[in-house]
């Protein structure tokens, strides 16, 4: 064999090996936002070499996040749901995500990018993604879109949320029992119904166990702004609050409370595991419960593509994290009792009598707010100190 012939055989062998190696690659490293610095796509599993090459393609699922997955808050909780999908379905799904996506035009661009790449299911996880989701969905009718926390649906857009006001109320019982100053600070995100509903539910719990306590609200207009949220918590603590809670996605309010010798109620995840026992408990999310159900129904063709889902404590989507050792057994027993009543369906948090911040009787005894009335809540109940978009009405409930 001549040297020239041997050289070309060598080149041919190397080319074959190159193609073989490329074909056997596992997880993709796609960056849906178009930036090399964006989070990589994550696959649900690798196909073994001996598997049938005619097997069905995995369902491609995309998540759009408003904050980093390491926030230990809202986005972290959603990403735990994504990981639960991978564990449940293995190589039947392939998941991707982009974090830190601002609400507005950038969100629409990222959503459309996933759609153009042929994803089967796109999950948008912030309230401000609602209109961009609807816009892009109208252009891709074969793709299923799920918007979390919004209220607009379409033939291929469903909404998913949880009745977080229920564990918020339960955590209010814990906070009301813990305060000595009777001042509880609430670091609030944006003045939208979701946040206002949580503040009111929390306050109803506080006042049930401690009628003299007051919940003071400071707005930061952030979902994830650690400096602003820390500053707001410190201001509330300086004003006399000895228990702090919040609606944002960081542990900064909890750390501020601990540093000041106070207590806190976490949110989204069990923040006690990071900050310590001064975090008495946390209302938390189990997104995997609903995400697994949705994907299973999509796979078998039974999913309601325009559903409006609002799951409560009895669904497993929302919950209360384990207690700190600083929470008394009497308080724990009271919370367990109230939780059982909620889960039975015999009573809910916004059943009357409920009085507004302005003294109006919002809901009379024997009536309860409807879902529509809760989802449009824009006023504060009695016991809240702070500004809401509207005055409390009268004559609600059914």
Q: What is the pLDDT of residue 308?
A: 97
In this predicted model, what pLDDT tens digit does every residue of 140-164 receive, in sequence order? 999 999 999 999 999 999 999 999 9
Q: Please say if the pLDDT value at position 284 is more than 60.
A: yes
Residue 243 φ/ψ region, left for φ over 0, alpha for ψ in the -120 to 50 degree band, beta for the rest: beta
d(CA 398, CA 379): 18
Alpha carbon 134 to chain centroid distance? 19
End-to-end CA distance of the chain: 93
Percentage of the chain beyond pLDDT 90 is 85
Sequence-separated (6 or more) residues with CB below 8 Å from residue 166: 201, 312, 313, 318, 342, 348, 349
- Identify the bridge partners of residue 279 per DSSP, sorted by sequence position: 264
pLDDT(397) > 80 = yes
The model's pLDDT over 200-217, given as tens digits with 9 standing for 90+, comes to 999 999 999 999 999 999
* Best CA proximity match to 280, nearest among 173, 162, 165: 173
How sure is the predictor about 72, in pLDDT bands with cuts at 50, 70 and 90? confident
Residue 381 has pLDDT above 90, yes or no: yes
82: left (phi over 0), alpha (psi -120 to 50) or beta: alpha
Give me the chain's average pLDDT, please: 89
> Looking at the predicted structure, is the pLDDT value of residue 15 above 50?
no
CA distances from 83 to 76, 87, 157, 358 (A): 10, 6, 22, 45
* Each residue's pLDDT tens digit, 329-374: 999 999 999 999 999 999 999 999 999 999 999 999 999 999 999 9
Q: In what order do the strands lie in the sheet with 42-43?
A: 42-43, 93-98, 59-64, 121-124, 144-148, 157-162, 308-311
Report whether pLDDT(44) > 80.
no
pLDDT of residue 144: 99
pLDDT at residue 56, rounded to an integer: 81
pLDDT of residue 55: 56
Segment 57-70 shows an average pLDDT of 96
Confidence of residue 318 (pLDDT cuts 50, 70, 90): very high
Task: Say if residue 28's pLDDT is above 70.
Answer: no
- Whether 38 has a pLDDT exceeding 50, the answer reads no
Element (H, E) at 384: strand 384-385
Residue 17 CB neighbour total at 10 angstroms: 10
Residue range 123-139: mean pLDDT, rounded: 98
pLDDT at 51: 42
As given in the structure block, the two tokens for residue 9 are 């055989």
> Tokens in use for 390?
């509207």
Instruction: Give the other-Cβ count within 10 Å of 293's Cβ.
Output: 17
The closest alpha carbon to 27, from 111, 70, 86, belongs to 86
DSSP of 146-182: EEES----BTTEEEEEE-THHHHHHHHHHHHHH-SSS
Give the ranges where 210-266 is alpha helix by DSSP (H). 226-238, 252-259
Residue 71 has pLDDT above 50, yes or no: yes
pLDDT in tens, 94-124: 999 999 999 999 999 999 999 999 999 999 9
pLDDT of residue 64: 99
Question: Is-cis flag, bond preceding 353, omega within 30?
Answer: yes
Section 304-323 average pLDDT: 98
Position with higher pLDDT, 3 vs 292 = 292
Distance CA 207, CA 360 (A): 17
Of the CA atoms within 13 Å of residue 307, those in its CB half-sphere come to 16
Band of pLDDT at residue 46, cut at 50, 70 and 90: very low
Long-range contacts from 298-303, C-beta under 8 angstroms, 24+ separation: 298/59, 298/120, 298/121, 298/144, 299/59, 299/92, 303/144, 303/158
């Amino acid at each position: 064999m001549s040297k020239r012939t041997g050289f070309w055989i060598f080149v041919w062998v190397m080319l074959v090996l190159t193609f073989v190696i490329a074909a056997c690659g596992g997880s993709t490293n796609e960056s849906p936002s178009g930036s090399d610095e964006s989070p990589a796509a994550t696959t649900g599993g690798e196909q073994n070499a001996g598997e049938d090459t005619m097997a069905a393609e995995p369902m491609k699922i995309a998540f759009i996040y408003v904050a980093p997955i390491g926030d230990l808050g809202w986005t972290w909780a959603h990403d735990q749901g994504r990981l639960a999908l991978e564990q449940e379905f293995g190589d039947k799904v392939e998941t991707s995500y982009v974090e830190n996506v601002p609400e507005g035009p950038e969100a629409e661009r990222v959503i459309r990018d996933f759609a153009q790449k042929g994803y089967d299911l796109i999950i948008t996880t912030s309230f401000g993604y609602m209109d961009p989701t609807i816009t892009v969905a109208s252009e891709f009718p074969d793709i299923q879109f799920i918007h979390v926390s919004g209220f607009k649906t379409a033939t291929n857009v469903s909404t998913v949320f949880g009745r977080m006001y229920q564990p918020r109320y339960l955590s209010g019982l814990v906070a009301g029992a813990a305060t000595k100053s009777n001042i509880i600070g609430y670091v609030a995100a944006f003045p939208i119904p979701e946040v206002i509903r949580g503040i009111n539910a929390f306050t109803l719990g506080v006042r049930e166990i401690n009628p003299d306590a007051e919940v003071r609200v400071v707005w930061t207009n952030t979902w994830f702004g650690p400096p602003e949220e820390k500053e707001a918590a410190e201001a509330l603590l300086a004003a006399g609050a000895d228990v702090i809670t919040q609606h944002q996605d960081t542990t900064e309010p909890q750390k501020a409370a601990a540093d000041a010798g106070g207590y806190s109620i976490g949110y989204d995840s069990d923040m006690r595991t990071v900050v310590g026992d001064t975090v008495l408990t946390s209302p938390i999310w189990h997104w995997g419960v609903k995400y697994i159900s949705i994907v299973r129904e999509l796979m078998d063709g039974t999913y309601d593509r325009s559903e409006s889902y609002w799951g409560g404590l009895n669904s497993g989507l929302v919950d209360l994290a384990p207690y700190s050792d600083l929470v008394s057994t009497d308080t724990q027993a009271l919370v367990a009792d109230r939780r059982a009543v909620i889960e039975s369906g015999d009573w809910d948090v916004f059943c009357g009598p409920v009085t507004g911040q302005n003294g109006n009787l919002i809901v009379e005894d024997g009536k309860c707010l409807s879902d529509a009335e809760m989802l449009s809540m824009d006023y504060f109940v009695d016991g809240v100190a702070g500004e809401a978009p509207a005055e409390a009405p009268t004559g609600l409930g059914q």
